[in-house]
């Protein structure tokens, strides 16, 4: 690592067999095994809502935002609650992995072969412990959540 280089702290999680990361400073809390209430006529990227300590939290389907199919198991999923500007929202993960630190010089841009739908939600990629981690664009999630 270059001296004086910044370190990006990420909460890593798995989803549909892939490793993802999201900026730790934007995460509010992690919760497990919550009952998700489906909302009729909601967009495909909204899985539903949950009650977290009295707050109604919208659950975004990251895979739908990427344009991919994914079947979640409600009793085996974890919620990552993010700090929204207007309202509370969360994304689902199959499991929470760890907090990882990645030097900024090890962050690679989003691969150019991805479609536009996928690439706007991917900030960077990196390799940690011989595994690719896809770093989610939290600003784009905030934009979607606040619509």
CATH of residue 50 = 2.40.50.180
Look at residue 59 in the predicted model and tell me its pLDDT. Answer: 92
For 11, 89, 128, the CA distances from 102, given in Å and listed in that order, are 11, 25, 8
Look at residue 85 in the predicted model and tell me its pLDDT. Answer: 76
Q: Looking at the 3D structure of the chain, how many domains does it have?
A: 1
Q: Which residues of 1-14 are buried (b: 16+ CB within 10 A; e: fewer)?
A: eeeeeeebebbbbe
Nearest to 23, CA basis, from 116, 104, 77: 104
Look at residue 82 in the predicted model and tell me its pLDDT. Answer: 92
Look at residue 6 in the predicted model and tell me its pLDDT. Answer: 92
CA 54/CA 35 separation, integer angstroms: 14
CA 83/CA 25 separation, integer angstroms: 9
Per-residue pLDDT of the chain (147 residues; tens, 9 = 90+): 445 579 899 999 999 889 999 999 999 999 987 889 999 999 988 999 999 888 899 999 898 888 877 666 666 789 999 987 777 899 999 999 999 999 999 999 887 777 777 788 899 999 988 999 999 999 888 888 776
Look at residue 4 in the predicted model and tell me its pLDDT. Answer: 54
Look at residue 1 in the predicted model and tell me its pLDDT. Answer: 41
Residue 1 in domain? no
Residue 2 in domain? no
> Strand runs (DSSP E) across the chain, as ranges?
7-15, 18-23, 27-32, 46-52, 55-60, 78-82, 89-93, 95-103, 108-109, 122-128, 131-136
Residue 69 in domain? yes
Which domain, by its residues, includes 72?
7-145
| Both structure tokens of 79 | 């919620």
């Amino acid at each position: 690592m270059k001296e004086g280089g910044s370190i990006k702290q990420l909460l890593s999680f798995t989803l549909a067999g892939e490793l993802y990361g999201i900026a730790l400073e934007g995460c509010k809390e992690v919760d497990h095994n919550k009952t998700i209430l489906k909302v009729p006529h909601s967009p495909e990227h909204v899985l539903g809502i949950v009650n977290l300590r009295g707050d109604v939290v919208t659950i975004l389907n990251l895979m739908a935002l990427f344009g991919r199919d994914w079947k979640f198991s409600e009793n085996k999923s974890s919620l990552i609650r993010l700090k929204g500007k207007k309202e509370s929202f969360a994304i689902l993960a199959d499991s929470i992995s760890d907090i990882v630190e990645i030097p900024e010089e090890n962050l690679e841009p989003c691969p150019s072969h991805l479609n536009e739908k996928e690439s706007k939600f991917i900030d960077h990629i990196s390799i940690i412990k011989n595994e690719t981690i896809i770093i989610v664009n939290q600003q784009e999630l905030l934009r979607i959540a606040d619509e």
